[in-house]
Amino acid sequence: MELHYLTIAQARELLDRRELSAVELTQAMLARIEASEPRLHAYLTVTADQALAQAAAADKLIAAGQAGSLTGIPAGIKDVICTQGVRTTCASRILENFVPPFDATLVARLKAAGMVMLGKHNMDEFAMGSSTENSAFGPTHNPWDLKAIPGGSSGGSAASVAAGSAFFAVGTDTGGSIRQPASHCGVVGLKPTYGRVSRLGLVAFASSLDQAGPFARSVADLAEVLQVIAGHDPADSTSSPTPVPDYRAALGRGVKGLRLGLPREFFAAGLDPEVEAAVRGAITALEGLGAELVEVSLPHSDYGLAVYYIIAPAECSSNLARFDGVKYGLSLRAERGSLMDMYLDTRSQGFGPEVIRRVMLGTYALSAGYYDAYYGKAGQVRTLIRRDFERAFAQCDAIVSPVAPTPAFDLGQKVDDPVQMYLSDIFTLSCNLAGLPGMSLPCGFSQKGRPIGLQILGPHFAEETLLAIGHAYQGVSDHHAQRPAL
């Protein structure tokens, strides 16, 4: 039995029956990391000693009959989320040696539920990218094809879950950074409604767009993790007080009677034929389970890319101003030189080219004389995009579409063409601009054997509906049960 590919439910049963100890399970996962990491580079930090100590504590709780839902379950955390005593680099030289003095709220909740933390996952620097090639510490490789990107910015998290070096992971999604790598790596990924999961301890990129969410190998496992991390955090002013339902109970609802919207703008020219065939096959399967299909329109989604690449860089420019070499992180202080020289040296050498590009774009969009023409106008169009979704959800319960226009592309293929790289997120950006929940789940493979994902979008706080649809689909498909020959 391959312990590293158990579901959370299977592992929970073995642990609770004392047929397997949390220490043994953690040792198996650490062995898997050691075997796969030379080829994958999904982790930036592996916390083996801490993981084994947490596993030993989990075994005591299990023996005392005090196990929580995730007690003894090994997982990884994206390296943009603060972990007390464990370095949090954001895959950037500027934070290479930063060790937070506190846990992010979601990490604290996972620890309270008994999670064993294996380490911190690789990512695009400060979550800016679509391929994990922008990491200052080298790219992550796709476990299905080592020549391919794993997606981004949470590429390390998705690749680790796909490769069996974590039972689940928590990433972040600012414009598709959970859903797109989940699609490319053949796992399930959920971006919750903005405000559903606390952002306290999440190093900010674009504060009105960032949202943390889970990766897993099945929708059922996803629900287990979301149940723990969701909920109001009084220390986070953007956290919603909306009550958290029982996500696990929603899994058995099925799709009969649900109306699924097909946005005509997402099935247009430029969509790879293999992607369209796989997505339409999944939609047909859902129709066979009793769902009703309706056509909807999201006319302003055509402007989503332009709006996103004004709003996100503008917020990035503001948020990243704190990394100046004065308070923490990298500081290049010349013996002779002005304060401005220190700022210039620290930021120009500490940030990578993509981060610098977005800081410059955002600073320009916010500068005197351009604010109204760019940032102000982008905010107005963002409202139109949100209203498009409101009209669409008046006709349907959820929207189904591709996650990405193509399967995973080769490493290096688009790294020198930012516009082509940005276009890979064209189907995911609007969800963040509207603050909606979105999920990706495996629905097929390309001829090259690279995974393809189905995107399901819902109204605000409709995660239950997404989980019900996804679980129903996984009941009649086996794409999520396939494993890479790593």
**Which residues belong to the active site?**
78, 153, 177
Neighbours of 451 (CB within 10 A): 32
Task: Give residue for tokens 């004392």.
Answer: 18
Cα three-residue angle 415-128-176, rounded to 5 degrees: 100
Q: Is 413 helix (H, G, I), strand (E, B) or coil?
A: coil
Contact 215, 171 (CB under 8 A): yes
- Burial grade of 419 (CB within 10 A; 0-12, 13-18, 19 or more): exposed
How far is the C-alpha of 108 from the C-alpha of 111, rounded, in Å? 5
Dihedral sign for Cα 160, 162, 165, 167, please. Answer: positive
* Best CA proximity match to 440, nearest among 401, 481, 410: 401
Hey, how many other C-beta atoms are within 10 angstroms of the C-beta on 485?
7
d(CA 143, CA 4): 14
Can you tell me the distance from the alpha carbon of 43 to that of 235, in angstroms, rounded to the nearest whole number? 29
Q: DSSP assignment, residue 376?
A: I
